[in-house]
Amino acid sequence: MKLTMRVLIAVLAVFALASCSSGSDYSGGIADDAAPAPELDEAEADSGDDAGGGPGESPSEDRMVITTAEAELIADDPAITIDDIARQAEALGGHVEARDQWADDDGRVDSASITVRAPAEDFGDLTDGLDDLGELVYFTQSAVDVTGTARDLDARITAAQTSVDRLLDIMTEADNTSDLITIETTLSERQAQLERLQAERNRLGDQVSLSTLSVHVTSEPSAEVQADGFLGGLQSGWAALIGFVNGALVAVGALLPFVVALGVPVLLLVALLRRRSRRRRAELAVGPAGYAAPGGAPAAPVAAPTGPVPPGGAPDEGPTRDGAAPGPAEQHHTPD
């Protein structure tokens, strides 16, 4: 029972050490079992001395700086230019990190990009040689001091490693399954934390040791030869005609769905209106021929006058509409 209590107290002490890497003082019942805490403080102090240097050392001797640069070039052949940049970086001990090329309609590479990594101490030689590869139109370089970040990571790695070692020692003293499970769980967490810190520190060191250069290369646009005089006008007119035809075809293609969707109903409506108009004209034409006279019998047509016309007089108009002979007022007299 006493050993179990000591194991639990030791685990708690390790937790305290991991969370407070600055070496805070603890008191109470864990004072005896937390005796390795000064060792942790000494390890952190040694790590700080190694990273920051002693009082007499120059602060710039071990500064950690991440250097990056970007450039834009104009060259006759972008593909060959980025090949030259890649060879220069590899000759200095670096490598190519990314590379892209773009071609025009004729299949000629007219632009390309490359990202290379080169040792920081030789990075100046790589950037100084860009002027020899083409026309340098843009260049920028930046440097970020990460010395403080690196020292902080080193201290945290030292504290995490001390915590892992302490837990391994405690595990050998565990005498029951419950204590062993608790220690193993804590140990797994501390080991995962240690691995993350180490990976971050390695990544930071890689960025410091190898500087990064990104270059974008383009070619001069080829000038098109324009003919003068009649041939030049003919070429311009033909190009304008082709452009107009292409634009018209695009417009027709865009409007065709609307014409089909709206034209069919309009055609049906026009056909219906024309049919109704023809029927109405037919009805109006039949109406006067079938007009009924008074009494229900159709009116008889008036016969045209027959026989010779007397001199100086009007022809005999025959009987009137009701069959009676014309009256005195209607008779015509021939003068003596």
**For residue 148, is pLDDT > 70?**
yes
For residues 8 and 173, the model is more confident at: 173
Average pLDDT taken over every residue of the chain: 75
Determine the Cα angle at 108 with ends 104 and 111, to 5°.
Answer: 70
pLDDT recorded at residue 95:
95
To which residue do tokens 């004209």 refer? 281
Residue 33 pLDDT grade (very low, low, confident, very high; cuts 50, 70, 90): very low
Ranges for all domains in the chain classified under CATH 3.30.70: 65-144
- What are the helix (H) ranges across the chain? 2-19, 37-52, 78-91, 123-128, 147-171, 177-209, 229-289
pTM of structure: 0.49
CATH number for 65-144 (one of 3.30.70, 1.10.10, 1.20.1070, 3.20.20): it is: 3.30.70
pLDDT band at 100 (very low <50, low <70, confident <90, very high): very high
The partner residues of 210 in beta bridges, in order of sequence, read: 119
Whole-number pLDDT of residue 19: 52
Q: Mind listing the pLDDT tens digit for each residue in 200-213?
A: 999 999 999 999 99
**What pLDDT sits at residue 61?**
55
Q: Are 179 and 4 in contact (CB under 8 A)?
A: yes
One DSSP character per residue, 93-157 reads T-EEEEEEEEE-TTS-EEEEEEEEEEEGGGHHHHHHGGGGTSEEEEEEEEEEE-HHHHHHHHHHH
C-alpha–C-alpha distance, residues 165 and 191, integer Å: 10
Structure tokens at 28: 């109470």
With beta carbons less than 8 A apart as the criterion, state whether 178 and 205 touch: no
Q: Does the structure show a pLDDT above 80 at 79?
A: yes
What does the pLDDT read at residue 279? 85
- Which pLDDT score, from 0 to 100, does residue 13 have? 56
Query: Would you place residue 138 in the very low, low, confident or very high pLDDT band (cuts 50, 70, 90)?
Result: very high
Checking if the pLDDT of 52 tops 60, the result is: no
pLDDT (0 to 100) of residue 91: 95
DSSP-based three-state secondary structure for 59? coil
Where is mean pLDDT largest: 68-72, 167-171, 266-270? 68-72
Q: Cα 99–100–102 angle (5° rounding)?
A: 160
Least-confidence region, from 9-18, 153-162, 242-251, 266-275:
9-18
Residue 38 pLDDT: 36
Burial classification of residue 294, based on how many CB atoms lie within 10 Å of its CB (0-12 exposed, 13-18 middle, 19 or more buried): exposed
Residue 232 has pLDDT above 60, yes or no: yes
